[in-house]
Chain A
Amino acid sequence: MSIGWLEVVVVTLVVSLVISLILARGRHWLEPGFWKVAAIITSSVMAITLVLLTFHTVQAISMESKRVPGADVINREIGYVYNADRRAMEPVLGKEVGLFGKIWGPQEAEELIVKGKLVIQSRNCMDCHTLLGNGAYYAPDLTKAWLDPKWDKQIMPMVGASSREEAMKTWLMNPDKYPTWVRKMPNLRLTEDEAKAVTAYLKWMSAIDTNGFPANFPEVQVSQK
């Protein structure tokens, strides 16, 4: 179901205006009563519209929808390429490659994602980093952290890891041991399981369709089989 934003805008404004004028007729426009009607009607129209749009949106962003992947996306290769029709970058999924050397079943993957989110909240990541652009601005945005070139280029050799996820896991457990510049991430005492869960979460999050945020990111192509 496709919703045109312009139609929504025009309809809400017109409906608010028309109903307000009808219900407020007879009242002088300089009297509070006139504006009381306008306030109630306008607020109601906008609120009802928000509720209706919410039904559609929440469905559109549920896991395994077109926009938000299921937990088992952690088994796939993930990319990020520019779509000229949309004039925005979008995630693309490639072949099955597994994570941490195994293919995760749907139940295990789900548990891993839940754990990852719990760790992210328990360690207050949002008060230094931004996730999907929201949070604090002391540390980098994590939306596409899984796809960041730094892991392969700098961190893997630095920590001596054999894969990107191993590098991420090791780094996250000892960020104070592997500084990348003057501002260091504190050691948040992540256990190995917690670090794996966060890594999986970051991989999952990088596959969300964010309408092209962040923009200008270096493209990552994927192979299908």
Chain B
Amino acid sequence: MERLYESQKLALWYFWTAILLFGAQLLFGLLSAIQFINPDFLYGTLNFMTNRMLHINAMVVWLLMGFIAGIYWFLPLETGREVVGIKLGKLAYFAFVGAVAVVVLVYLFKQFGSGDFFTLWFITEGREYIEAPRWADIGIVAVALIVAFNVMGTAVAARKITGILGVLIVDLAFLFGLYLAGMFFTPNISVDQFWWWWVVHLWVEATWEVLVGVLMGWLLMHLLGTPRKIIEAWLYVEVMLVFGTGILGLGHHYYWIGTPEYWLGIGGFFSSLEPLPLVAMVIHAVYDAGVHKLKTVNRPALFWAFAQAFGNLFGAGVWGFMHTLPQINLFSHGTQMAAAHGHLAFFGAYVSANLALFYFALGKTRVKEGYILNGTPWKIAYIGMIIGIFGMVAALTVAGFTQTMIERATLGSTWEAFIQAQMHPWMEEAFKWRLLFGVIFFLSYVVLLYDLLTAGKRVEALKEAEVVG
């Protein structure tokens, strides 16, 4: 096993924290799912709004931590030297974790505050995904600046910026910069949501996509020996397609928030074309799978990498397209259809990527040269989580169809229409199935955690002919 760079040790701290927060995300998800079925459960003590907020905030934080871990893992390998300012990076880690802990405790025990700026600064900002109070926002920006400094400082000190590193640096500048777009208060909700989407959409449908492209590119280079030129060409193609369709695809969030009608056309056009590049990219994924005959020294990393390629196409492409046209979205906006799409898209595009990266790093630290990381538990977790997520998403899709057709298209989108649709048998059944598959997903996570903790105990000896590249 190779000696680790300091930044790779930091990567492992971030990975473990991320995995634990993933577990927290799932626990709060389960509580929320139970409340859909039994609304009296924890009513008044831990309301849905708090569970849901913790569910989505845990998700955003753990995925970000996983990406940061991936950056710290590959950066020294890419530049051939230790990361510049790594002590500062480690400090930032502790600050980050400390801030998250405080924010979570306040969410849990204070939950909300009075209608003033103090609440927004210290308790919650109450805007979906970016509920974190303003003080924590500033903390996140500080951590982000340190990560950015680590990356750029190292590139400068190594006197080389590879193509991949160049894409990363530019992407990180936008990714971290965009967060600032959410850090202000306005009474005008249309303006509020206009800028809010600059953070949310241009994160998950633009800068995060490119960041994952960089990390997966590094993964494929190191795991499969894919030539750098192919990774680079592919990464540039991906940037062109993702930014080419995603930047103006932002318009698909501007149909109904008070903004002018030209967004219906611009947003609808670009987002209806978004699946085309995803279908194209899947061809490359299958090619890579075939070329290496699925043989590698790290089976779980490879399989999670493939889950990423296909999951992106299905979650974002298929489910996204289904309700992206404004003519349809007028009726499905703000229904469980969005939840169905979101769950599969996040799992496919980002959860899979993070798990692939984590397994890769663990393989490097726990498995000796000449052995393959394998075993049974990761397979159980893999299959279980895929079944779990598809089950949840299928249930939510049924719920989404029901809500769209009944609450919106038939009953007139009123308060009463909402209630009637929620009480419809299809809806009630859907929430039960969603909980069932959520439990399956959670149990698979437990198996995953066990496998990660004990990775390295189940290895196979490598036969010479087995590894390609």
In-complex A–B contact (CB below 8 Å): yes
A residues with CB within 8 A of B:
3-6, 8-9, 12, 16, 30-32, 34-36, 38-39, 42-43, 46-47, 49-50, 53-54, 56-58, 60-63, 67-68, 71, 110, 113-128, 130-141, 144-145, 148-150, 176, 180-184, 186-188, 191, 194, 197, 205, 208-218
Given A32-B232, A208-B190: A132 in contact with B422 (beta carbons within 8 A): no
Q: Among residues 407 to 437 in chain B, which have CB atoms less than 8 Å away from a CB atom of chain A? A: 408-416, 418-419, 422-423
Q: Which of A5, A58, A61 contacts B265 (CB 8 A)?
A: A5
Q: Which of A54, A124, A133, A191 contacts B333 (CB 8 A)?
A: A133
Question: Interface SS of chain B: helix, strand, loop or mixed?
Answer: helix
Residues of B within 8 A of A46 (CB): 243-244, 247-248
Give complex CA distance A32, B240 in Å. 12
Do B229 and A32 touch (CB < 8 A)? Answer: yes
Q: Does B116 contact A (CB under 8 A)?
A: yes
Q: Does B117 contact A (CB under 8 A)?
A: yes
Sort A-B residue pairs by CB-CB distance and give the 5 closest, nearest first.
A5-B265, A119-B115, A121-B126, A133-B334, A35-B236
Do A118 and B194 touch (CB < 8 A)? Answer: no
**Per-position contact with A for B239-283: 1 when CB-CB < 8 Å, else 0?**
110011001101001111111111111100110000000000000
Interface contacts beyond A8-B262, A128-B49: sample of 14 additional A-B pairs, CB < 8 Å, sorted by A: A36-B163, A42-B244, A57-B260, A58-B194, A67-B190, A117-B187, A126-B126, A134-B193, A138-B52, A182-B40, A186-B49, A210-B256, A214-B413, A217-B414
Q: Does B123 contact A (CB under 8 A)?
A: yes
Given A32-B233, A39-B240: A121 in contact with B412 (beta carbons within 8 A): no
Do A132 and B257 touch (CB < 8 A)? Answer: yes
Given A67-B258, A137-B338, A188-B112: A47 in contact with B247 (beta carbons within 8 A): yes
Question: B119, B126, B239: which has the most chain A beta carbons within 10 Å?
Answer: B126
Do B256 and A136 touch (CB < 8 A)? Answer: no
Given A57-B254, A134-B257, A183-B422: A217 in contact with B52 (beta carbons within 8 A): no
Give complex CA distance A8, B40 in Å. 51
- Nearest neighbor of A176 in chain B, beta-carbon distance: B44
Residues of A within 8 A of B114 (CB): 122, 191, 194
Residues of A within 8 A of B53 (CB): 124, 127
16 contacts between A and B (CB under 8 A): A4-B262, A5-B263, A9-B248, A32-B163, A35-B237, A47-B243, A61-B191, A126-B127, A132-B189, A132-B190, A132-B256, A134-B257, A145-B415, A148-B415, A182-B40, A186-B49
Do A61 and B39 touch (CB < 8 A)? Answer: no
CB-based A-B contact count at 8 angstroms: 274
Residues of A within 8 A of B419 (CB): 140, 180-181
Do A62 and B188 touch (CB < 8 A)? Answer: yes
- Nearest neighbor of B236 in chain A, beta-carbon distance: A35
Residues of A within 8 A of B265 (CB): 5-6, 8-9
Give complex CA distance A107, B85 in Å. 51
Tell me how far the C-beta of B183 lies from the nearest C-beta in chain A, rounded to whole angstroms. Answer: 13
Give complex CA distance A193, B163 in Å. 57
Question: A31, A126, A212: which has the most chain B beta carbons within 10 Å?
Answer: A126
B residues with CB within 8 A of A:
32, 35-36, 39-40, 43-44, 47-50, 52-53, 111-117, 119-120, 123-128, 131, 163, 185-194, 196, 229, 232-233, 236-237, 239-240, 243-244, 247-248, 250, 253-266, 269-270, 330-331, 333-336, 338-339, 403, 408-416, 418-419, 422-423
Tell me how far the C-beta of B280 lies from the nearest C-beta in chain A, rounded to whole angstroms. Answer: 13
Do B120 and A122 touch (CB < 8 A)? Answer: yes
Residues of A within 8 A of B32 (CB): 138
Given A50-B248, A218-B414: A118 in contact with B49 (beta carbons within 8 A): no
Give complex CA distance A42, B237 in Å. 11
Residues of B within 8 A of A124 (CB): 49-50, 53, 111-112, 124, 126, 131
Given A57-B194, A119-B115, A209-B258: A43 in contact with B39 (beta carbons within 8 A): no
Residues of B within 8 A of A47 (CB): 243, 247
Do B39 and A183 touch (CB < 8 A)? Answer: yes
Residues of B within 8 A of A118 (CB): 115-117, 119-120, 185
Give complex CA distance A218, B113 in Å. 35
Q: Which of B43, B240, B408 contacts A186 (CB 8 A)?
A: B43
Do A122 and B415 touch (CB < 8 A)? Answer: no
Give complex CA distance A54, B198 in Å. 11
Residues of B within 8 A of A110 (CB): 187
Residues of B within 8 A of A216 (CB): 331, 408-413
Do B116 and A212 touch (CB < 8 A)? Answer: no
Residues of A within 8 A of B187 (CB): 63, 71, 110, 113-114, 116-117
Give complex CA distance A218, B259 in Å. 23
- Nearest neighbor of A16 in chain B, beta-carbon distance: B244
Residues of B within 8 A of A214 (CB): 408, 413
Do A121 and B127 touch (CB < 8 A)? Answer: yes
Do A140 and B418 touch (CB < 8 A)? Answer: yes
- Nearest neighbor of B192 in chain A, beta-carbon distance: A117
Given A123-B112, A149-B416: A32 in contact with B260 (beta carbons within 8 A): no
Do B414 and A149 touch (CB < 8 A)? Answer: yes
Residues of A within 8 A of B112 (CB): 122-124, 188
Given A9-B269, A67-B258: A49 in contact with B248 (beta carbons within 8 A): yes
Do B125 and A121 touch (CB < 8 A)? Answer: yes
Give complex CA distance A16, B247 in Å. 13
Residues of B within 8 A of A140 (CB): 414-415, 418-419
Do B193 and A132 touch (CB < 8 A)? Answer: yes
Give complex CA distance A56, B266 in Å. 14
- Nearest neighbor of A12 in chain B, beta-carbon distance: B248
Tell me how far the C-beta of B15 lies from the nearest C-beta in chain A, rounded to whole angstroms. Answer: 28
Residues of B within 8 A of A126 (CB): 126-128
Question: B47, B258, B265, B412: which has the most chain A beta carbons within 10 Å?
Answer: B258
Do B266 and A8 touch (CB < 8 A)? Answer: yes
- Nearest neighbor of A155 in chain B, beta-carbon distance: B415
Q: Which of B128, B189, B192, B266 contacts A5 (CB 8 A)?
A: B266
Tell me how far the C-beta of B214 lies from the nearest C-beta in chain A, rounded to whole angstroms. Answer: 13
Q: Which of A115, A119, A208 contacts B258 (CB 8 A)?
A: A208
